Amino acid sequence: MKFSLAFAALAGLVSARPSFLDLARRDGAIKYTDPETGFAFSEFKAAYTLTSNIVYRFALPSDPPSGPYDAVIQVVAPVQVGWTGLAWGGTMLKNPLTVAYPNGNSGPTVSSRWATAHSTPMTYTGATYTILSNGNRANGTHWQYTALCRGCTQWNTGSSTVRLNPTGSSRLAFAYSPGRPSSPSSNTSSIPVHEVANAWSHDFSLGLNPNFQELLVKNGVS
């Protein structure tokens, strides 16, 4: 992909990053049922080096309203990951960006962002996050968060409204940096630019939950 190669060259990481083809061949979404929260997730392992992955998981209601609907996102990242972002529309620009970084033992900070240029994304009030009472930690090897997002499944690009199809596949993208945010406890911290960004086609239908609301309540969200 043009953007991947261009960006890898920019970051000076051509030898360290996997090619788009490798990523596409090796991985595909699978269904994962999380024993901690009880949600069924569609899971994708995004390679950010030849040997390391960040795990992205998505749980959706099986019978969502026709407009915007809630989604649960769970991300598991190795401690080497300084911040990671998920782009719900599969590009850096004009779609909700879920950025997160570890914050010591307090559990990760999640930050809502939006970019209109290939520079530090601004904050985005169109999406809000509620951290679930389960599924958040940082230990010696990994950090992980689990959050309800309101505003991640539908947005306006300025020229059109995009709504994710909960029973189909669509393009997602992620970004990774080993660099640490300047204020890890703040959801408006500045972040260093990513070293790797890549996209994949994600099958959301593997993470549908008939008991979505009930599971939210079980995980501390009323």
Ligand X SMILES: *[C@@H]1O[C@H](CO)[C@@H](O)[C@H](O)[C@H]1NC(C)=O
Q: How far is the CB of 110 from ligand X (least distance, A)?
A: 7
Q: Which is nearer to ligand HEM, 134 or 169 (CB)?
A: 169
Q: How far is CA 88 from CA 122, 144, 154, 169, in A?
A: 16, 19, 9, 12
| List 52, 62, 134, 137, residue binding ligand X (CB under 6 A) | 137
Q: Which is nearer to ligand X, 171 or 180 (CB)?
A: 180
Q: How far is CA 129 from CA 9, 56, 88, 99, 221, in A?
A: 34, 16, 14, 11, 11
Is beta strand 97-101 parallel, antiparallel or unpaired with respect to 142-150? Answer: unpaired
Q: How far apart are CA 42 and CA 46, in angstroms?
A: 13
| List 19, 52, 62, 91, residue binding ligand HEM (CB under 6 A) | 91
Residue 211 in the binding site for ligand HEM (CB under 6 A): no
Which amino acid is located at 113 in the chain? R
| List 63, 116, 118, 123, residue binding ligand HEM (CB under 6 A) | 118
Name the E strands within 21-141: 30-33, 40-47, 53-61, 71-78, 83-87, 97-101, 109-114, 122-123, 128-131, 137-138
Residue 173 in the binding site for ligand HEM (CB under 6 A): yes
Q: Which is nearer to ligand X, 123 or 213 (CB)?
A: 123
Task: Look at residue 56 and give the partner it binds from ligand HEM, ligand X, none, a contact being a CB closer than 5 to 8 Å depending on partner kind.
Answer: none
Q: Which residues bind ligand X (CB under 6 A)?
A: 76, 111-112, 123, 128, 137, 139, 141-142, 144, 187-188
